[in-house]
Amino acid sequence: MDCGLAAEGHLPGAANVSFYQPIQGWTPWQIARRAGYALFGISQGTEANPNFLDEVRGLVPDPESTPVVLYCNLGGSLEPTKNDKNGQQTRSMVAAFELVRDGFKNVAVLKGGYTDWVAKDREIEVFE
């Protein structure tokens, strides 16, 4: 399951349920978030997708036993790295945490993510 924005493409057969979405609305908080992103040169800031869990539940028939493999551009890992003793926190890792916290039992994250998949010349599907 692709939990990124899936702009470039996705792994064959993967569903896309974005964990983050472009900032919606113009509340003071959302305006401040946009400004914060803009300070770092990012024109399209993101916020959590409030429908993420519902969208995944709609695709996964049995959260207790159905395997769910998540990926984003980087993949993520709990293995310590040179820069972070807690591993690499990524979009797919945070999404996996939320699914487990919601009762999903068979959740994994694709190590290396989409970037590693493409670098190894594996097949991808491109959205029309």
Among residues 3, 11, 14, 72, the one annotated as catalytic is 72
Residue 72 known to be catalytic? yes
* DSSP labels, the chain: -B-S--SS-B-TT--B--SEEE--S--HHHHHHHHHHHHTT-SS-EEE-TTHHHHHHHH-S-TTTS-EEEB-SS--BSS--SS-TT-B--HHHHHHHHHHHTT--SEEE-TTHHHHHHHTT---B---
> Catalytic residues, which ones?
72
